Chains A and B, each alone.
Chain A
Amino acid sequence: MTGRLLEWLDHRTGYRSLRRHLLEEPLPKGTGWAFTTGSAVMFLLGIQLVTGIGLTMYYVPAPLLAYDSVRYITDTLAYGWLLRGLHYWGSTFIVLAAAIHMLRVFFFGSFKAPREVTWITGVVLFLLILAFSLSGYLLPWDQKAYWATTVTINIARSSPVIGEYLADVMRGGSHLGALTLGRWYSAHVFLLPAALILFVVAHIALMRRHGISGPIKVQPGPPLPFYPWHAIKDTVVMAAVFALLVTLAMIWPAHLDEIANPADASYVPRPDWYFLSLFELLKYFPGPFEPLATQVIPGLIVGFFMALPFLDRGGDRRPFSRGRLPVTLAVLIIGGGIVALTMKGLIDSPAKYDPNDWGPRAIAGHQLVTAPDNKCATCHVSGGSAAALAITRITKDEEWLLSHMADPVAIAPGVRSEGDPAPPPHMTRFQSQSVIAYLRRIRAGATPPQLEEGDRQAANTFSNMCAGCHKIAGEGGESAPDLSHVGLRRDAAGIKRIIRDPTTEFPDTMMPPYGERLSEEQIDALVQYLSKRQAGG
């Protein structure tokens, strides 16, 4: 019965001949493991496509919601962290696998006639993969997304003549915002996949048309069919790649910074590793020479790879043969340059910001909003007129929030008049800033730490007396040194001396002595806390 049904299906569709065409491709004898790199790239493209579809079910391409939807995928959705982790690591894997595949094709001389067009479609595919990575950056709308995209658009803006127009089109206006996110999302999920599928089909069709190039040294003997001899190797490689991908996604899940904040000067933007070499290159080309780094050099490299089959035309496929040596050296120099710049970029990268590092301001804010007599709970409570603070998502800017916390009844800053004066503030400005720090940390997905009484007291003291000038974990003033890692620079005795009377160490300091203003207990708690702040360098 089944046999007759399949017979009928084959008669109508011809699927058996398609299967034969796909599986029985004759491969030259000696086609070994080196020829599995293309399958690994294809496999990873499939992973990206499927995990990408999964992500679009939850992702919302609008600022604020974009961040919250990615936060939801990462923190709340069952296995969402793994879905995003696979997509995130998949993008790194795919760049690596594509680069390895290109190098394999180059060193085996597989791009030579009659496979020139196959190679060119491959170079286009590599550029498409980079475009995917670039457009995928912006989508989470976190600090990294915002600043990396700002830099990318400004690179385009430095193009001669059309630069400004190009930047305007990429942004969808004069500012990076909702319209930018919309068009980059559209490119990432519709435009680029369409182009990718087109070129993948062309690449594979051309590969089949000319056949696999096989080993450099032709081995005598009849060709072997793709299935099962080579299919087994492909499957083993894919399984190994997948195992590594899942392992990395589980050990180091995809990170999400704090929400994009265009006014934050403390964030040091760095792109992912595959654009780090370009980012580093920019440091060496000041002023008018900038387009050399942003356009000319990358353009020449792409042009060189596009033209490779026509520059390296001899029949000899051995990479270090006399005829091929100049081109091989050029590829090695380009590759070495990219690796060296990437390494330099990795070394120069600042320490990663740790979202779980609750600075004293956030800790003080947490204590304020969980205290039994806290005023926020008048409205911000389950069943109340506003969402409980632990699940509140900040949608207003800092000035609005500060005004709201001082005078919660007023609907916006500055609306009070002489006839309707503001009541005494519900909180001091320092307290309000602490609550904002708490809300930011909650939004960044971090759970409040369990702390000893001494650290809690230190956090309160720091927030009320020190945070106006000093910063810890990204929160606080900028007029005095950042104390995030002060424990590395000074011991407890030194810190205590400075708190009591800073002129003993810094005769010209603006900082007042706190020996009289704080109790001995407060100073001791503060010294204990500050001397423990060492991690991160």
Chain B
Amino acid sequence: MAAAVAFVVGATTLAPSFTRRDTGWLRAAALDALPDNQPVPVTLRVTRQDGYSQVVDRTVVYLVRTGDQEVRAMHSTCTHLGCRTAYDRKSKQILCPCHGGVFDVQGNVVSGPPPAPLATLATRVENGDVMVQI
């Protein structure tokens, strides 16, 4: 009986944790609006199911134009402990306010505690629009 109750409570507790979300392509910006080699923060509206409710997440990604038809998209979430980073125009670096992590415009770690570069997202250019997979 104890095992049965533990199974039911355990399963209902853990089930949502292991449900994966589908990804989709979203339009992020017009290609012409992006300057070369400079991260532009773009807020994406991502609709998702949040348990019993549906929410619109406002996810911020950096778009960096790296070539004629090439754009690199990166999560703005610091890989250290999940704080939101911000692009500093003066130093041309991406900074994390929590523990002083510093990334270059390509998302590589320059200094500080982040263990990995900023996570990249798949991109493609379609009719002059930058599409991001999220």
Contact = CB atoms under 8 A, between A and B. Distances in A.
B43 A177 contact: no
A261 B60 CA distance: 11
Given A179-B16, A263-B58, 12 more contacts: A172-B16, A172-B17, A173-B51, A178-B50, A178-B52, A182-B51, A265-B60, A265-B86, A282-B80, A283-B113, A290-B80, A397-B58
A229 interface: no
Contacts, number: 111
Interface in B49-106: 50-53, 55-60, 76, 80-86, 89, 97-100
B48 A287 contact: no
Contacts of A315: none
Interface of A: 62-63, 147, 150-151, 153-155, 158, 165, 168-169, 171-175, 177-179, 182-183, 261-269, 279, 282-283, 285-288, 290, 396-400, 478-479
Interface of B: 13-14, 16-21, 41, 43, 45, 48, 50-53, 55-60, 76, 80-86, 89, 97-100, 109, 112-115
A479 B40 CA distance: 11
A288 B82 contact: no
Given A175-B50, A177-B50, A179-B50, A154 B60 contact: no
7 contacts: A174-B20, A178-B51, A283-B100, A283-B112, A286-B113, A288-B115, A290-B113
A177 B51 contact: yes
A151 B81 contact: yes
A287 B83 contact: no
Nearest to B45: A399
A393 B52 CA distance: 20
B84 A264 contact: yes
Contact of B82 (A153, A172, A183): A153
B111 to A, nearest CB: 8
Nearest to B116: A287
Contact of A173 (B19, B45, B52): B19
A155 B113 contact: no
Given A175-B57, A262-B57, A286-B112, A479 B89 contact: yes
Given A169-B14, A174-B21, A290-B115, A154 B81 contact: yes
Contacts of B113: 282-283, 285-287, 290
B120 to A, nearest CB: 18
B82 A179 contact: no
Report which residue of B18, B21, B48, B113 has the largest number of chain A beta carbons within 10 angstroms of its beta carbon: B113
Contacts of A168: 17-18
A397 B56 contact: yes
A226 B109 CA distance: 62
Contacts of A175: 48, 50, 57
Contact of A287 (B52, B55, B60, B109): B109
Nearest to B46: A175
Contact of A269 (B20, B45, B98): B98
Contacts of B114: 286-287
Nearest to A174: B21
Given A151-B82, A263-B58, A172 B51 contact: yes
A282 B82 contact: no
A265 B99 contact: no
A263 B43 contact: yes
B81 to A, nearest CB: 4
B45 A397 contact: yes
A61 B58 CA distance: 22
A162 B77 CA distance: 21
Contact of A265 (B53, B55, B59, B76): B76
A339 B131 CA distance: 49
A282 B99 contact: yes
A151 B50 contact: no
Q: Which of B17, B20, B41, B48 has the largest count of A CB atoms less than 10 A from its CB?
A: B17
A47 to B, nearest CB: 30
B115 A173 contact: no
A400 to B, nearest CB: 8
Nearest to B59: A263
Nearest to A396: B56
A183 B58 contact: no
A263 B17 contact: no
A513 to B, nearest CB: 21
